[in-house]
Structure 1
């Protein structure tokens, strides 16, 4: 079979599509809070002004400012067409701002370094009746290095904060845990800021997006969708996959400033509790007393028993309530539909369509629409199920890819963790084993006794 030639035009088109999606994510992250339909017009206006008053980092890493009129337009687009309406056209346009306008803006900035792009825009409008967009001026400042003329910002002052209700804010982080079978473990956990309840958790052998998804996806399906997810700048938390998932579900993803972890104290306090009460009981080395865990399935089962049987039922020192009881004060919470959750957590890869209308993915081959022969298409899939793929071309839906030859049913990065060789059991008191047995017994005792009640036949017992 001869190879399909992919032109430079196709590669450029793919890059433009990818950049368009990155811009769409950037716009969504800015307007999500202000686009909340529960806000009044006054509240929305105040939030838009706050967003427009501070600089932001665009997909190219440049510091820019967005005008309130642009933010209002993005909010209107999002309401009409959702996330896809925020993705701009991939077509590129030539610069339209005359060079003499940039020269005047540069002179105004050098004349007074304290002038912002918004102030320079106002000066130019007053002088000439017209000025380029504030964001255009700010991009020019970044490109020419004029932003370095600004005075350093004063040190921010942080106070205590707590979300006013459950599922308003989740904090996420990863904990480096003990070794199992010679391999290091990691705990991904999400804690509800208001109640301190652990809404999602997962132990794994890697600190990557797959293990993060294994903790977050069941949490969303069981606990509902939070308004915000606050996390650090680890590679798993800044992955484009997580940003896409949050955008699809309407979650505002917020990252702490690098080197300044203020605001994540609750999840760090949780990890200290986990280390002092749970991992301390795990025998991670020779001669160390405790439970000798044989595999990750056992590790996750024991941790679930500790969370549900101990942590969630114990009164928290700051809230004065048990975490689960405080979280249940706002129940029930709406959960996403299974199909919406599955769509949010899909991955995508680019492939070339052969002359026989076939594409390959991880050793599998799929049949696509013959009209796509010779094109570069985007395959959208669930990493845990490669039997079903959606096809997109030029940013539009192009049907499904029918399995032609399947040798792998899940993505290599999504394969289950391989259990370690079980070590010899130890003697002594098994604290985690006792918790696990107690929690399992409680689950077994939860019988629906109403199902055993006799049916009412409409006659008295004496008859």
Structure 2
């Protein structure tokens, strides 16, 4: 990949991150169930608070901008929030920022205004005071002189079922010599386990295997609260939540507080379920043969034991408390399939072809030279939808298929071991049969005629 392509890719990834930041910011205020008065109060509150953008800067968004984003999202969906990929160069030279950082580190008590005065005295020019302050916040220099105070946390519980789900991953026992991982989502209000899946990897594919059935059966939560693990910060999860209208929240790095309910559930899993699973030969416990059996046993334990037992904090059985607000609206199969597709950007070649992980596809010739988005199921690369500037541009027709699934979409079941040989050589059998037939004499009597009596039939040398 050339340097220009790398820069273009970086610009597009940044544009997607900005769109997700905008969506997360306006999601609550864009709720169609809110009255104009309620929406106005939320927008004014958002405009009055500082926010951290994808670049780590602390910014403030005006009410007019928030209203504009809400209107764009209502009219054209998530794609309308993606900004232009044009990249502007920073107006402040980097060496000025480096000198400002050095002045701050030299004396942490210096304010942004004081450093601005020093820079102006040194160079005759200095950035705006607010620009320097944002830089200090982004680089963490504002905390140099402020001693850290111990944080205090209060108890929190969602007001109703499906208001917030909390997700996390648990490292489990070995099955057939391979380490297992459990992805699970717990409803914060009822403590019901809305989704779960054991797998052999802690990746986005196994996370989707837990979350997608949960959304199809339990409905769409308002918030999903997760940590900063690689599977939970993947762009796939951000896209899925944005498509379904879910506000995805990540806990602050190094501060796991707020995920105590799922951690408490994992302790219950270790104390009541995994303790009964034998990790190897000769150990006491159930010898699980494969993942299918592991997931079947876990589902039985969740539904018959955990969900029906009175929870020590709520005083109710988790499933019974969750059902108090049922039924819940569930996404359509089409919307769910669209949300869980993956996407990548490619430039269409002069021959109207695009490449994706060793495969080549034919697209509309009118897209030659343009940057398009390819939307696909990671387990089926034979069918791709094409989008250009947020609009549908048809289907990419397979031209050369070398692989049928995404490299990250690894199956749980490894390739089957080679079958033992039967020892039968078919070609040798045919050869032996042919040799035997050539060695046998011709039985003319069986043919119904005698060549000795009628030599004109065949010109043969008949012995006396």
Kindly indicate whether the alpha-carbon contact (under 8 Å) linking 1:391 and 1:399 is maintained by their aligned counterparts in 2.
yes
- Distance (whole Å) between structure 2 residues aligned to residue 197 and residue 142 of structure 1: 40
- The structural deviation recorded for 1:354 is 4.0
State the match for 1:198 in structure 2: 193
Equivalent residue for 2:81, pick from 86, 89, 95: 86
Deviation at 1:77, TM superposition (A): 2.8
**How far off is 1:142 after superposition?**
4.8
Q: What pairs up with 1:148-297 in 2 under 5 angstroms?
A: 151=146, 154-297=149-292
Q: Paired residue for 1:360, among 355, 358, 361? A: 355
Give the equivalent residue in structure 2 for 1:425. none
Shift in Å at residue 234 of structure 1?
0.8
Over 3 Å counting, the alpha-carbon distance change for 1:408 and 1:138 in structure 2 is same
Alignment of 1:359-398 (within 5 A): 359-398=354-393
Match of 2:345 in 1: 350
Root-mean-square deviation over aligned CA pairs: 3.5
Q: Distance in 1 between matches of 2:377 and 2:261?
A: 32
Shift of 1:11: 5.8
Shift of 1:339: 1.3
Name the SS for the 1:313 alignment partner.
Answer: coil
**Cα shift readout 1:344-394 (whole Å, capped 9, x = no counterpart):** 111122334344433333343322112334444332111122221012345
Query: What pairs up with 1:4-153 in 2 under 5 angstroms?
Result: 12-93=7-88, 113=111, 139=134, 142=137, 147=142, 151=146
Q: Provide the secondary structure at the position in 2 that maps to 1:397.
A: strand
Structure 2 length as normaliser, TM-score?
0.75
Aligned to 1:23, the other structure's residue is in SS state helix
* Deviation, structure 1 residue 195: 0.9
Cα distance between partner residues in 2 of 1:145 and 1:200: 38
SS of the residue 1:202 aligns to: strand
Separation in structure 2 between the aligned mates of residue 349 and residue 152 of structure 1, nearest angstrom: 44
| CA deviation vs aligned residue, 1:35-92 (integer Å, no higher than 9, x gap) | 2233344544444444444443322233333344433332333233322222222234
Higher relative contact order (CA 8 A, sep 6+): 1
Does 18-27 or 394-403 show the bigger shift?
394-403
The CA distance in 2 between the partners of 1:216 and 1:267, in whole Å, is 15
- What displacement does 1:309 show? 1.7
Alpha-carbon shift at residue 226 of structure 1 (Å): 0.1
Quick check: 395-404 or 369-378, which moved more? 369-378
Runs (5+) with no aligned partner, structure 2: 102-107, 114-127, 418-464
Structure 1 unaligned regions, length at least 5: 1-5, 116-131, 423-463
**Alpha-carbon contact 2:165-2:188 (below 8 Å) kept:** yes
Q: Displacement, 1:17?
A: 3.1
Pairwise CA distance, 1:211:
0.7
